[in-house]
Structure 1
Amino acid sequence: MSRTLSEFNQLTDAEQFFDFFDLPYDPNIVNVNRLHILQKFSALIKQLNDDQFSEIEKLDYYRSALQQAYTLFLTSNSLEQKLFKVFNDKPQNLVLLSDIGSD
């Protein structure tokens, strides 16, 4: 069955992406890491320069990117990956003990 970018752009749920690309997945893994898998998937597909590839090549790359994002969370977790901004931003109203000098 041939898929199109138009169909891909209509997908909204993680499970829909896996079904669209006919990729096997463990629902428990997806339920626990849903947002993180989709965030990593999004970051991977943004790396593709769309102008250079045909629709079929793009979809093949997207399939591979989804598989890579899912596989990452089979052996890792969200705390290790720190994909969201909140994990990387330092609070502005925080003073670390190492920042306090001893006089």
Structure 2
Amino acid sequence: MTKSLEEFKKLVDAEEFLKFFELPYDVKIVNVNRLHILKKFSQLISEIDTNHPELSDQEKLNQYSLALQSAYQVFVESSPQEQKLFKVFKDKPKNVITLTELSSD
């Protein structure tokens, strides 16, 4: 059965996207990294749409599938703290001094 871009646009949850593209996934990884996977996926989709506006709907869906595989794989091999996709991971707390900032004079 051929999938459509209209069907794709109705999806919301990480699991829905993974099932739509028939990609295998570990539920534990998705449960822990759900928002991060979706954020990375969204960034990759944006790049595809910006850099390749000439793609047909089927070609876009193929590229989106690869993008989702890539976004998922990032969090199989890495952590949200390492990826720093969200502002909370980028901002340094204002009321904390790290051990590396302390010097022994």
**TM-score, L = length of structure 2:** 0.83
Task: Give, in angstroms, the shift of residue 94 of structure 1.
Answer: 5.6
Consecutive unaligned residues in structure 2, runs of 5 or more: none
- Aligned residue pairs total 97
Task: Give, in angstroms, the shift of residue 88 of structure 1.
Answer: 1.9
- 2:7 paired residue number: 7
Task: Tell me which moved more, 49-58 or 36-45.
Answer: 49-58
Consecutive unaligned residues in structure 1, runs of 5 or more: 99-103
- 2:90 paired residue number: 88
Task: Give, in angstroms, the shift of residue 51 of structure 1.
Answer: 2.2
Task: Give, in angstroms, the shift of residue 90 of structure 1.
Answer: 4.5
Task: Find the aligned partners of 2:92 and 2:82 in 1 and give their Cα distance.
Answer: 17
Cα deviation digits, residues 20-75 of structure 1 (max 9, x gap): 00000000110000000000000111001352110011000100000000011111
Alignment of 1:68-79 (within 5 A): 68-79=70-81
Task: Find the aligned partners of 2:61 and 2:17 in 1 and give their Cα distance.
Answer: 11
Instruction: Work out the percentage of aligned pairs sharing the same amino acid.
Output: 56
